[in-house]
Structure 1
Amino acid sequence: MGRMKTALKTILLFALGCGGVSSASDPRQPNILFIFADDIGQEVLECYGGQSYRTPHLNELARTGMKFNQAFSMPVCHPSRITLMSGKYPFRHGPVSWGDYPKQAEPYTFSNLLKTAGYRTAIAGKWQLCLLGEDPFHPRRMGFDHWDLFGWHEGPRYYEPMIHQNGQVRADTLGFYGPDLYVRSVIDFMKDNRDRPFLAYYSMAVAHEVTDDLTPPVPHGPFDRYDNYDEMVAETDRNVGRLIAALNALKLRDKTLVIFLADNGTPPEIIIRADGQELSRVPVVSRRNGLDVPGGKKQLTDAGTNVPMIANWPGTIRPGQVVDDLVDFSDFLPTFMDLAGQPIPDGLKLDGVSFADRLRGTGTSPRTFTYCEEAVLPKPGGVEPDGESSGLKWVRNQDWKLYNNGRLIHMAEDPLEQYPFTSGEDNARRTEMRSLLENVFRDLDSAGTSPTAP
């Protein structure tokens, strides 16, 4: 009888292992601290040549880690988030209302898939994938065990924030500053789960302006106005420092991959105060390498889509690296699964490819092109999209970029896109590049393509 019990126990343990839950004790699985900043272009960070703002903690993260020069987002936040969480470009999902997430894709977010690999998961800060007042447990369906998220288009994100925590609106935020509460939530989660692999997703509120369609407008800060862009950048950097300090205090630094990424470029202007219902805005212009750079959010140029990305993992990522691998937001889901040692589920077709070998120091990303599209999204009642909708899109490699209206740009020589070429102006080299990128467009428009295709 004892032998039978032992045999049954062995079979059960084997079955659990095949089901993917035993990997929770796999020491090779890194924790993932994913810091996703809002509305911050490369020109903002000193480590990318920025001169207008002090970013010492981000500078240190880059100095001791890996800086990516060619990471590409969508031009505005919501399409970037759909791509990020699904591993697929927005057009793959069909019509999706602004601020929603495709229902059929909910089971296949990177957070849900990491849970199958034994990870605990949490998110704090910005959601923007539904109105939480209407669907308070949406984050759970999307794969998060714990959440502290502000009510997008429902309440403030900064002063006296409206925060949904695990399906309930918090009643303890009066007198608090939202980013302090979001960071505390992430730190508490890491502390509570220090003995098992975790995904801690800090979806920053900063440096996005306040919500502009609430009556009355959201509360001012202590200076009788909203935070200016300089102050929000300082808060972004400070929060990165607090999270790294927490990892050090918890002795989790060597076990944790830290990724800092932004969702799109810097805004061209922000709301600075409210006088009754009247909102005052100021422009945002940043200095980079001796040049003034207006905010490029909503644009398909590099100013709107070539975002800062830093990866840091002591003992695994060699310090001081600067790489030109192409990365787009569809790549994070397969990369996280690769790091977790889990295959992509059968039948799940992705646009993304894993760049985990680049992080491990064993290879480069296999991606050879990136793709971007403008937001062409239906508008739900009363909520305007955060971008234009002309249907423009592009594909590019490291040096060349082709728009679907035929404009070809030699980005290596014309990064500001001042001198586009039409097909009638092509020489032999331009003809070759145009043909290559047109083939990528055709493949994307058909059943799908591999991002590793030439």
Structure 2
Amino acid sequence: MHRFQILSARNPGLSFVRSTLVICGMLVLASLGYEANAEDRPPNILFLFADDVGQEVLECYGGQSYRTPHLNELSRTGMKFNHAYSMPVCHPSRLTLMSGQYPFRHGQVTWGDYPKAAEETTFSRCLQRAGYATGIVGKWQLALLGDDPLHPQRLGFDHWELFGWHEGPRYYEPMIYRNGQVRDDTLGHYGPDLYQRGLIEFIKSNRDRPFMAYYSMALAHEVTDDLSPPVPHGPFDRYDSYPEMVAELDQAVGRLVAALNALQLREQTLILFLADNGTPPEIIIRADGEELIRTPVVSRCNGLDIPGGKKQLTNAGTNVPMIANWPGTIRPGQVVDDLVDFSDILPTFLDLAQAPLPPDVSLDGVSFADRLRGRGASPRQFAYCEEAVLPKAGGVEPDGESSGLKWVRTQDWKLYNDGRLYHMSEDEREQYPYRAAEDDATRSAIRAKLQKTFADLGLRTN
């Protein structure tokens, strides 16, 4: 398996053979009577969370640099969102996602940590209490698992297979914690294959009860950059290129959808694909001794060349792809302009699960489950984003507000806390800011409305 698995991960023909064998095996299992319960129950959730993938990467959003046939098919047969907004980098996005609250609500949270006080109210913990089996594979980044190997359990996961973030490789011969123990059988293996296999096994084991299967992808993030010696190269004496990682990401989506089909779970399962922030401006392509060699990432989309916007508060850094697919419930071919930000994931999942919201927690998120069910648009009126700023020595500012840039926006207008206002439907790249002194009556009214949104959040503007 070892050599074949590594080579097939890089070779589309072998990848097709590999996926076909997996699917055929699952079909045999289904024919032997391993079928999901037909009783009325809340939907299963397959949550596919990509890493460092902007809208411009996907063909269904106009991307021209990469082939994404499986994601295109999810979009064609499901619902594509134009206005889903992340934080500009991964950790605050994950904090918002898990908690249903914006990062500044949690006070002093260091990079790669999760607030202790919020552990009992994650979406996974709430789903677990509602009777869901909960599993996660891939990336964690909410703790160093070497220091806290049972952290995923405390946050509500029954099963986890997660690479050691900043502890070891995530791709070739990865360091993987399975339910608190480091695996000793990854030699010669390609990480994403192992994560996907682990998630499929979790789904098979829990197909007779509601489950939430969370694939927190390593793809398409570059390799860990702070280990000595650097993590091992792949079979071509380098790391994967960005196009290769996008191809693997799309293949993973196809493989997991095929598994649901083989297990006859598609109509009982919501698939939600989302990315944590925009595309990186460059990635590590190889190690020359201790030196890491990087290459730029520029993607063609709708006739324009778009440099990766990760870490920026622009659309390139925060306007991420989101696709929902649920046969028999979501009507195919929909493209919607509802505003969604990452705080909405928790209340939406709980709404779908018919589970109560966590008590004594003031959520920033609102459910868009009615949009998925075909009952109307999301009630969200604005999206919010903040710059990732590590807490200063001595803690946060007296009112709990962190420093750094922030914005609130509608589909058409965006206001930063430093006073810049942009007409996004006419100035997507934010080249022409309006200051208050330049406002006409229309802009003045829009500015006042967005300033009130900042004030309602308890945040200040200039």
Same fold (TM over 0.5): yes
Match of 1:314 among 315, 324, 327: 327
1:425 corresponds to which of 438, 441, 449: 438
* Aligned ranges 1:243-392 → 2 under 5 Å: 243-378=256-391, 391-392=404-405
CA distance in 1, matches of 2:110, 2:202: 31
What is the aligned partner in structure 2 of residue 21 from structure 1? none
Q: Map 1:21-420; keep pairs closer than 5 Å.
A: 27-378=40-391, 391-420=404-433
- How far did 1:398 drift? 1.0
- Kept after mapping to 2: 8 A contact 1:286/1:295: yes
Which consecutive unaligned segments of at least 5 residues does structure 2 have?
1-36, 394-401
Shift of 1:345: 2.9
Change (3 A) 1:252 1:25: closer
Contact 1:210 1:271 in 2 (8 A): yes
- For residues 286-324 of structure 1, give each alpha carbon's deviation from its aligned partner in whole angstroms, at most 9, with x where no partner exists: 000111000000000000000000000000000000000
- Which residue identity lines up with residue 41 of structure 1 in the other structure? G
Q: Runs (4+) of structure 1 moved beyond 3 Å?
A: none
Describe the SS at the equivalent of 1:326.
strand
C-alpha distance in 1 between matches for 2:39 and 2:243: 42
State whether residues 82 and 321 of structure 2, in contact with CA within 8 Å, keep that contact through their aligned partners in structure 1: yes
**Gapped runs of 5+ residues in structure 1?**
1-23, 381-388, 448-454
The AA in structure 2 aligned to 1:183 is Q
In structure 2, what is the Cα distance between the partners aligned to 1:446 and 1:43?
A: 31
User: Residues 43, 331 of structure 1: CA spacing in aligned structure 2 closer, same or farther, 3 A cutoff?
Assistant: same
Q: Quick one: distance in 2 between partners of 1:26 and 1:152?
A: 40
* Cα deviations by residue, 1:196-222 (Å, 9 ceiling, x for unpaired): 000000000000000000000000001
Cα distance, 1:84–1:301 mapped onto 2, change above 3 Å: same
**Matched residues in 2 for 1:56 and 1:423: separation?**
45
Deviation at 1:346, TM superposition (A): 2.7
Q: For 2:391 and 2:159, how far apart are their aligned partners in 1?
A: 30
Q: Does 1:442 align with 2:455?
A: yes
Kindly provide the amino acid, as one letter, of the partner of residue 183 in structure 2.
R
Contact 2:173-2:190 at 8 Å conserved across structures: yes
CA distance in 2, matches of 1:360, 1:208: 33
Shift of 1:28: 3.4
CA distance in 2, matches of 1:292, 1:163: 37
**Paired residue secondary structure (1:215):** coil
Structure 2 Cα separation of the partners of residues 254 and 379 of structure 1: 49
1:445 Cα deviation from its structure 2 partner: 1.2
Q: CA offsets per residue over residues 389-420 of structure 1, 9 Å max, x none?
A: 97000000111000000000000111110000
Q: 2:39, 2:337 → 1: CA distance?
A: 31
Matched to 1:359, the amino acid is L
Classify the secondary structure of the residue corresponding to 2:457: helix
Q: Which amino acid aligns with 1:177?
A: Y
CA contact (8 A) 2:41 2:210 kept: no
Q: TM-score, normalised by structure 2?
A: 0.89
C-alpha separation in 2, matches of 1:279 and 1:184: 30
1:150–1:163 Cα contact (<8 Å) kept: yes
- Rounded to whole Å, the distance in 1 between the matches of 2:277 and 2:445 is 30
Q: Distance in 2 between matches of 1:236 and 1:165?
A: 22
1:26 Cα deviation from its structure 2 partner: 6.9
Identity %: 76
**Residues of 2 paired with 1:27 and 1:116: CA distance?**
19
